Amino acid sequence: MATHHSIQPLARDGTAVKVKAKMAPRTKVALVWIPSHVGIPGNEKVDEPAKLALNQEIHDKKQVIWSDLKLKVNTHLEQRWQTDWDTEVDNKLHEIRPNLKERLNYDQRLNRKQETVVSRLRIGRSWFTHEYLLKGEQQPYCTACECPLTVKHILVECADFLLSRQKY
């Protein structure tokens, strides 16, 4: 912590040293003294109770348990993520997984990798059908139907795979 004139009042009473001692290694915190709202209309009213509070003794010390804090932060972040996700209505993945907290339960026997494969097929993404995008090539066409080669075409539409679809 720098010994900047703005934190000297904190340094005198040892607050800065106490805060630094409790911080994790390599954590950087800047303590900055915020001057009062002198000369700003309306804000001087706010400063009066704040100045009174400075001289009052704090009776209600509350310790925060790390696991409680972590739970609150994670819950808040999950809610914000879900709120952002809810705006993605034209997203193919959003169609199959509107609630981020719920895992897709295709089958309890599927592992994470298998669930990923199924999700990609549901949104129409596979290396076989999208490799051309990464290579900067033209979209491939089905050799049997001369239609654009897509996951939907392979799994649902192509006559060449009709017997395989009926079998499985």
Per-residue pLDDT of 64-110, as tens digits, reads 788 888 999 999 999 999 999 999 878 877 877 888 887 666 667 88
How confident is residue 5, by pLDDT bands cut at 50, 70 and 90?
very low
Tokens of 5: 């004139």
pTM of the model: 0.41
Residue the block writes with tokens 């979209």:
139
Tell me whether residue 150 is exposed, middle or buried, using C-beta atoms within 10 angstroms of its C-beta: 0 to 12, 13 to 18, 19 or more: buried
Contact present, 115 and 106 (Cβ < 8 Å): yes
The pLDDT score that the predictor gives to residue 81 is 92
Which residues, in sequence order, are CB contacts of 149 under 8 Å at separation 6+? Answer: 128, 129, 139, 140, 141, 142
